[in-house]
Amino acid sequence: MRMTTNPFNLSGKTALVTGADTGLGQGMALALAEAGANIVGVSIVSMDETAKLIEKTGQKFHGIQANLISQEPIDGIIAETLKHGPRIDILVNNAGIIRRNDAIDFSEQDWDDVININLKTVFFLSQAVARNMMADGKGGKIINIASMLSYQGGIRVPSYTASKSGVAGLTKLMANEWASKSINVNAIAPGYMATNNTQALRQDEARSSEILGRIPAARWGKPSDLGGAVVFLASAASDYVQGITLPVDGGWLAR
The number of helix segments (H) and strand segments (E) in the chain equals 9, 7
Return d(Cα 110, Cα 100) in angstroms, integer: 9
Catalytic residue among 151, 160, 192, 240: 160
Q: Are strands 14-18 and 140-145 parallel, antiparallel or unpaired?
A: unpaired
Q: How far is CA 96 from CA 63, 68, 122, 142, 216, in A?
A: 17, 9, 9, 16, 26
Return d(Cα 190, Cα 246) in angstroms, integer: 8
Known active-site residue 240: no
Crossing angle, helix 227-234 and helix 23-34, to 10 degrees? 60
3-state SS, residue 99: coil
Q: Please, are residues 195 and 223 in contact by the beta-carbon 8 Å criterion?
A: yes
CB atoms within 10 A of CB 101: 13
Return d(Cα 160, Cα 157) in angstroms, integer: 5
Query: DSSP character for 205?
Result: H
CB atoms within 10 A of CB 115: 16
Q: What is the largest CA-CA distance in the chain?
A: 67
Q: What residues act catalytically?
A: 160
